[in-house]
Amino acid sequence: MSKTEANSSPAPAGCWYLYMLECRDGALYTGISTDVARRYATHCAGKGARYTRLNPPQRIALVHPFADKSQALKAEHAIKRLSAATKRQLVAHGDLDDWLATRAALAVANQ
């Protein structure tokens, strides 16, 4: 599965995805789900998060798998704290592996 495309079927048991949506206002919305395609449809139908009800998504910009919900939530929290420019760089790169590895290395170095 491409990390920049949504999987049309639900994730294997225990697998979670972090996703980023490009919204009508140009902003990037970040969330997590076990089924990104279903969640995207929910956002598009105006039944998702408040932000996407006001600023409907235009496309799925990035999808990244995680082994469990805890890892996905931690990554979501970290990404939501980034600047818009940094989020756009992550989307342009198309993969979070390097960013996650750098973040983990910094956490170890700061211990």
Domain-located, residue 26: yes
Q: Is the pLDDT of residue 5 over 80?
A: no
CA angle, residues 89, 90, 94, in degrees to nearest 5 = 115
pLDDT in tens, 29-67: 999 999 999 999 999 999 989 999 999 999 999 999 999
Domain-located, residue 1: no
The whole-angstrom distance between residue 67's C-alpha and the CA centroid of its chain comes to 14
Rounded to whole angstroms, the Cα distance separating 61 from 20 reads 5
pLDDT in tens, 59-74: 999 999 999 999 999 9
Domain-located, residue 11: no
Residue 64: which CATH number?
A: 3.40.1440
Q: Is the pLDDT of residue 20 over 70?
A: yes
Number of domains in the chain: 1
Domain-located, residue 95: yes
pLDDT the model gives residue 3: 47
Give the domain range for residue 27. 16-109
